[in-house]
Amino acid sequence: MDWVSDSDGGDEVDWESDGEGEEGQAPPIRDVPSSSEAGSSKKDSEGGASKSRSNSNLTAHFVAMGFSEKMVAKAIKGNGEGDSEAILELLLTYGAIDKSPSQEEGSPAGCSSPSDDDNWDEDDNSDLDDFEDKDFVEELAEKDKKLLTLVEMGFTTKEAASAIERCGQDAPVSELADSIYAAQTAETDSIYAASWSAQDEPFCRFTSFSRDNKRRKFMEDSNNKRRRYIDQKNRNKNVSHNDDDMIALPNPMIGFGLPTNSMMHVVNRRLPEAAIGPPYFYYENVALAPKGVWATISRFLYDIEPEFVDSKYFCAAARKRGYIHNLPIENRFPLLPMPPKTIHEAFPLTKKWWPSWDHRTQFNCLQTCIASAKLTERIRRALIESGDLPSPRVQQYVLNECRKWNLVWVGLNKVAPLEPDEIEYLLGFPRNHTRGISRTERYRSLGNSFQVDTVAYHLSVLKDMFPNGLTVLSLFSGIGGAEVALHRLGVHMKTVVSVEISEINRNVLRSWWEQTNQTGKLIEFVDVQQVNSDRLEQLISTFGGFDLVIGGSPCNNLAGSNRHSRDGLEGEQSALFYHYFRILDLVKCIMGKN
């Protein structure tokens, strides 16, 4: 039995042959549905011809969450169908207003129930006088009726729509249902993971995580939305003003304490009941995400307060990141030796050429791209033309560019971007960790990775807790920042199930795994959408559960550097966060069941 993916075969997961019919199948490289696909919750603006369809799909989407059709119709009417998030907010508001116990209990499937509608009618039906469910359903196209039927059967809108896409509109519902069951990849729900509860139901209905509970959680979330993170504010008086839906970033951004002052920085944190493991989990993303993103992430991840840390306290480069985890925070210890925290200590050779007017001691965030040669040439010319002491204007120009692009002084009037191996060093990876792939890819992969020392400090508490090693589910593994951190801590990894979309990154991780003579098993998956309940149950039954679920989901749509598609958590890549939650929640369900 070969648990490890075949490097030649590339993307396939050489999972034990189990007759699932996936062998030899092309890997499902991230398959993001188009905005016109039914059930898509992305903001889109379709033409008039498809308006009815998208309207009904949107309706079905929210009905699948457990709201009544009339409520949904009213919410859509009030908001238009373009902004599904606003519609959800309105629905949650309706839900908060309507506190009928019967509705709280809901129907078994979590779908709309007569009581829902009755209560709703009593509350407010002024805008719905001309609206009846019967009429509404009759207006649906045949395809939409099937879609609704499938949704009522417990599938997500997206699954249903995809099945119709695959099998055709004429396919009977039974065939469509079979098709969904057969599909091994989960579809992305880009806004709220509640719709996943339907697909998870085969497991979760045996637990407390029923769809109805999900819906109740949404209601509770809505009511709790105004809650602020008072503790964090109290700890750090100098925090910025925060809105209702915002989590304040601490200043200084030192999380629950640093290696150097952990004794001085005593933090009492009490984890919510639902957050307590097993498994332990650790989630990471950019701290400076658009407003409200971290509040949403925190709500999904069991209302755990994020730990915001700037890696400039661990190395010579800033890296402001938020971490949500359920790890203990006492008795942490850092990796040794502690890396240098200034540019000159990290790269002494640059000191010779460093002008006195460049007062930088640390780098800004190491990103995925570097400055162009034209820019460094423009800087060189500007400096040459201005003689020994550049004018304040030139200095300002040069400093701005140096800060923006993390340039270092490598000669007289000569600046240059950091080399990939220098970035590896700053991020705590072994030298040549990414060597062998293209230079551009090295920058990209490194720019997207953990700062190892920072993460290792947080994970260090696992060492004493798991003296015999642990089993890790590593989501969005990238070049293996989590694995490197554990390895450098001396934590044995009995098994790592790694999920990473990029073949280049998988190769980097696999190569490192082999080179470091790991005695554990590395099992690779390509796409988080492959990781469904069947797979997880197999893995958990084989390895006895996961001790740690770790990963940082894509930040593309959250990062400030993104000029084009900083769409927040709904963005094409960043919405994969919901897969992190989905998978983590599934693991908790399955392990809780066992």
Q: What is the 3-state secondary structure (H, E, C) of 57-80?
A: HHHHHHHHHCCCHHHHHHHHHHHC
Site map for DNA, 528-557, x if CB under 7 A?
Answer: ------------------------xxxxx-
Query: Residue 360 is which amino acid?
Result: R
DSSP string computed for 122-188: HH--GGGTT--HHHHHHHS-HHHHHHHHHHHTT--HHHHHHHHHHH-TTS-HHHHHHHHHH--SPPP
Token pair 């719709």 is found at 195
Q: Based on CB atoms, which residue is closest to DNA, 339 or 552?
A: 552
Angstrom distance (rounded) from CA 443 to CA 368: 5
* Pairing relationship of beta strands 307-310 and 521-525 according to DSSP bridges: unpaired
Q: Least distance from C-beta 454 to DNA, angstroms? A: 11
CA dihedral 47, 48, 53, 59 (to 10 degrees): 90
Contact yes or no for 356/344 (Cβ under 8 A)? no
**Binding to DNA, residues 480-499 (CB under 7 A):** none
- Tell whether residue 249 is a contact of DNA (CB under 7 A): yes
Q: Based on CB atoms, which residue is closest to DNA, 405 or 525?
A: 405
- Tell whether residue 291 is a contact of DNA (CB under 7 A): yes
**Binding to DNA, residues 436-465 (CB under 7 A):** 438-441, 447-448
Selected catalytic residue, list 111, 204, 315, 555: 555
Q: Least distance from C-beta 156 to DNA, angstroms? A: 25
Q: Least distance from C-beta 375 to DNA, angstroms? A: 6
Q: Based on CB atoms, which residue is closest to DNA, 240 or 261?
A: 240
Q: Least distance from C-beta 67 to DNA, angstroms? A: 28
- Tell whether residue 290 is a contact of DNA (CB under 7 A): yes
Q: Residue 72: how many CB atoms within 10 A of its CB?
A: 25
Contact partners, residue 140, CB within 8 Å, separation at least 6:
56, 148
Q: Least distance from C-beta 123 to DNA, angstroms? A: 34
Active site residue 555: yes
The DSSP secondary-structure symbol of 251 reads: S
**Binding to DNA, residues 302-341 (CB under 7 A):** 318-321
Q: Based on CB atoms, which residue is closest to DNA, 150 or 555?
A: 555
Nearest Cα neighbor of 384 from 348, 350, 411, 352 is 411
Q: Among 7, 169, 208, 240, indicate the residue that binds DNA (CB under 7 A).
A: 240
The neighbouring-strand residues paired with 310 are 320
Q: Least distance from C-beta 290 to DNA, angstroms? A: 4
Q: Least distance from C-beta 554 to DNA, angstroms? A: 6
CA dihedral 484, 488, 489, 492 (to 10 degrees): 70
- Tell whether residue 558 is a contact of DNA (CB under 7 A): yes
Site map for DNA, 410-439, x if CB under 7 A?
Answer: ----------------------------xx
**Binding to DNA, residues 124-153 (CB under 7 A):** none
Tokens of 6: 């075949």
**Binding to DNA, residues 338-397 (CB under 7 A):** 364-365, 367-370, 372-375, 396
Binding region for DNA (CB under 7 A): 238-241, 246, 249, 251, 253, 284-288, 290-291, 318-321, 364-365, 367-370, 372-375, 396, 400, 403-404, 438-441, 447-448, 552-556, 558-566, 573
Query: Active-site positions?
Result: 555
